[in-house]
Structures are given as structure tokens and as C-alpha cells.
Amino acid sequence: MLYSLDYNAAQSELNVGIKQADSLKAMDLGGSSDPYVKVYLCPEKSKTFETKVFKSTLNPPSTTTSLSKASLLKSTVVMQVFDFNRFSKHNMIGELRLQMSSVDWNHVIEEWQDLGEPAKFEEEELGEICFSLRYVPSAAKLTVVILEAKNLKSMDMGGSSGLEKGLERGLEKGLERGLEKGLEKGLQRGLEKGPEKGLEKELEKGLERGLEKGLEWGLERDLRGDLSWDLSRDLSRDLSRDLRRDLRRDLRRDLSKDLRRDLRRDLRWDLSWDLNPYVKVQLALDKRKWKKRKTSMKKRTLNPYYNESFTFDVTFEQIQRVNLVISVWDHDAMTRNDAMGKIFLGCEASGNQLRHWADMLSNPRRPVAQWHGLLTAEQVNSTLTLKKKIPLQSKLPFLKDMKS
């Protein structure tokens, strides 16, 4: 892929140009792809920019987008090439990752680089949602049909996956806590029954207890957000840091990938019985909250099916200024409901969301359905920045006349 980088220091703006791609991997049965490029900065992925989709080609032409970042030198520019598909997940063809600290900013950079394999640790997938849009200009009606969602994930208060983060943190913290307890007891028991026997037995017990407690504590911490860890307690003075480090390393290595995979699968199945997702459909006019509806709640599922329709009165003049916000929530009878994912569509959207909106406007009276990947609420809110509801006075113009 041919790209360019140009940094404007006066405006603190990085201009990333996606110039050309050549000989992309064919993803369709016909031997071609419908590629587009997604560009963003890491580690803070607050804004994402996308090129338009180029139909049935392996050599898309150029486009340009802009990114702003205060701490540019600490960042990484990520350029990901996807194959567009309206009715299924978009497959990634490849990606480029450029460390900004290694770039010479004295001149504009323009060069070819081979696409690499996608990073497996890349952005957390929050699930997908499918819905259709239909606009009838003559009747001034906008119809949104929420069809279904799939592969949803439990969300904690901070917006991250409680399952994955809880499991990873729980395993690590459990290992550390188990080692700490096991070594302490092993040293004491070793004085009575011999160092080797006491230490080995207590380490084994400590590891088992640590894993069990770690999973429990980790899930509680990420799902409720109110459990803090205190690992500041020191071990015995005679136990060197090198010994502790080596023991932790060896035990982590022995914890096989199969065990972690099975634990994730089992825990994900168990957690699905606590999820009760529903969908909010909200309209914002001129970035002010305007109208909203919501679907019914589906109990104990990560793949809810709704097929529920909502119709809003929206004039042709208003449809140019409207944003549609779709969000998935987990209903909790005991605490506040948690956002599981969110997207918005409208003339100010980008990428797949803008394409779906444009397809609806260019095909009046015809429903247009599409799958969308969910984003975090923080990502959408930072882009949309909705204000409070539209003042009553603007909804009811005759109130102005009464005042005058």
C-alpha cells in the first residue's frame, strides 16, 4: 500500500494519505474485493477515519484524511484494509502499523509498504447489530427495524469486557496471590518438615487456591468495579526477588493455552445467563437529543433476536440534520443498566455508518438492512457530543407568541 504522512506543526495536525493499494488479497468468490481503509491512532483510539468503499477491485485509488494528536511522537498510526460486506462481518485483508517516534518529520513521507497480518490483540470486539432503515420523503416517515444482535459482551463500568479482562486479571492476580500465600506457608512448614517437601506442597496448594480465588476476584472486580487489589505485602526477607520472579514465570508457562481457552468458554457461557440486552433507538436533531424508543428486553442471551419496528416523523429538511444513535444495553434489576455497545448514523457519520445512511436516502421507500460492529460508548460520545434535549419552546412555536 502507498501512503503519505505530513505533519502540520502550526495546527498540530497529522495528514495521512491513503494513496493506492496494489495486488490485494481477493476475498470474494469472484476473485476480487470491495476494499476500504480504516485509519486511527493508538493507544488512544478516540477517533477513527475510513475511506470510501471501492467496488470489485484489488487496486483502489487514493484518498486523504486527517488526524489530530497532541502527543504524536508517543503514538502509532494504524492503517487497516477491510473487505466490505453488507450482510456479514467485514474481513480484514491486512494492516500497517507505523511508530511515529521513528519518523523523520523534516519532509513529507510517501512510500510503499507491504501489508502485514492483523494484530490478534487488536481492538476488542463488542458484538454486532443488524437493523434496517427506510425513509419515505412524501410521508416524512423514518422507520428503523431492529432485527438482531450477536456475539455481545458483558460490559463493566469502565467500558471494557468484564469476561476477558476479568479472566486475564484474575488469573494473573490469582497466581501472584497464590504464590505469595504458598511461599509464606511453605517457608513456615519447611522449618518443620524439611524445606523441599513443605515448599513444594504449599506452592501447589497456593496455586490452586490462587487460580480459584483469582478468577472469582477478577470477575467481581471487572463486573462490579469495586474491588481493589493489595499486593503490597512483602514476603520474607530471606526470599529473594529473583526466586519469586522465576517461580512466577515457570508457573505461568505451565498454565496451558487450552486451560485458558476452556475457562473463557465456560465462563462466557455462564455469564450469558446474567445478560438481558435491549436496544435504544435515539434521534438527535442538530446534535440535541430529540426522540427515543427502545426494544423489549431479551433475557439471558448474547445473541438476541428482536424484529421490532419504530417509526418517527422526520421531514425532508430535518433528515439532513438528524443523527440516529443505536445503543445496546444490559438490563440490571439491582444496579444501573450498562452500555454494551453503541454506533451512530447520519450525514456526520463516517465509514459503514455513513454508507448505510446514504443508501437509505438514495433508495426512498425501500428498507435497507446492514450489519454494524458495535463501538464503545466513549468512542461514539467523543465524536457525536450530544447536547441536552431540544427546548420545549422550539418544539411548540406558539409559546413564543404567548410570551410576546
What digits encode the pLDDT tens for the residues 1-57? 888 888 877 777 788 888 888 878 777 666 777 888 888 887 766 667 777 766 555
Which residue in this structure is represented by grid cell 515448599?
199
Residue 200's φ and ψ, nearest 5 degrees, are: -65, -45
Same domain? For 290 and 241 the reply is no
Q: Residue 117: is its pLDDT beyond 90?
A: no
Q: d(Cα 62, Cα 60) in Å, to the nearest integer? A: 7
Shortest CA distance to 125 belongs to which of 392, 399, 379, 375? 375
Q: d(Cα 317, Cα 308) in Å, to the nearest integer? A: 26
Are 202 and 247 within 8 A, CB to CB?
no
Q: d(Cα 337, Cα 293) in Å, to the nearest integer? A: 16
Residue 75's φ and ψ, nearest 5 degrees, are: -105, 170
For residue 294, the surrounding DSSP H or E stretch is strand 288-294
Same domain? For 267 and 249 the reply is yes
Please, is 235 exposed, middle or buried when counting C-beta atoms within 10 Å of its C-beta (0-12, 13-18, 19+)? Answer: middle
The total number of structural domains in the chain stands at: 3
Same domain? For 143 and 288 the reply is yes
CATH number at residue 353: 2.60.40.150
- Is 363 strand, coil or helix? coil
Same domain? For 141 and 182 the reply is no
Number of H helices, E strands in the chain: 9, 16
- Mean pLDDT value across residues 180-203: 59
What pLDDT, on a 0 to 100 scale, did the predictor assign at position 20?
A: 85
Q: How many CA atoms lie within 13 A of 335 on its CB side?
A: 10
Shortest CA distance to 38 belongs to which of 55, 50, 21, 47? 50
At a CB cut-off of 8 Å and minimum separation 6, what does 40 contact? 47, 48, 49, 67, 77, 78
- Mean pLDDT value across residues 217-233: 42
What pLDDT, on a 0 to 100 scale, did the predictor assign at position 93?
A: 85
Same domain? For 90 and 52 the reply is yes
358 within domain boundaries: yes
Are 112 and 396 within 8 A, CB to CB?
no
Tell which wins on pLDDT, 59 or 367: 367
What order of strands is seen across the sheet that includes strand 2-8? 63-68, 13-20, 2-8, 109-112
393 within domain boundaries: yes
- Mean pLDDT value across residues 130-145: 97
What pLDDT, on a 0 to 100 scale, did the predictor assign at position 383?
A: 79
Q: Which of 241, 271, 301 is the last residue of a domain?
A: 271
What pLDDT, on a 0 to 100 scale, did the predictor assign at position 106?
A: 76
% pLDDT > 90, the chain: 25
Reported pTM: 0.54
Same domain? For 190 and 282 the reply is no
What pLDDT, on a 0 to 100 scale, did the predictor assign at position 174?
A: 60
At a CB cut-off of 8 Å and minimum separation 6, what does 48 contact? 38, 39, 40, 350, 351, 379
Same domain? For 190 and 241 the reply is yes
Q: What is the pLDDT of residues 63-107, one digit of tens each?
A: 555 555 556 777 888 888 888 776 666 778 888 888 887 777 777
R_g over Cα of the chain:
26
Same domain? For 325 and 363 the reply is yes
230 falls in which pLDDT band (50, 70, 90)?
very low
Average pLDDT score, the chain: 74
Are 72 and 14 within 8 A, CB to CB?
yes
Q: What's the Cα-to-Cα distance from 392 to each of 258, 289, 290, rounded to whole Å? A: 59, 12, 11
CA dihedral sign of residues 134, 138, 139, 140: positive
117 within domain boundaries: no
Q: d(Cα 138, Cα 49) in Å, to the nearest integer? A: 34
For residue 97, the surrounding DSSP H or E stretch is strand 91-99
Cell digits for 83? 473487505
Query: How many C-beta atoms surround the C-beta of residue 137 within 10 A?
Result: 13
Same domain? For 138 and 220 the reply is no
Residue 378's φ and ψ, nearest 5 degrees, are: -65, -40
Q: What is the pLDDT of residues 324-347, one digit of tens each?
A: 999 999 998 777 888 999 999 998
Which range marks the domain in which residue 17 is found?
A: 2-112
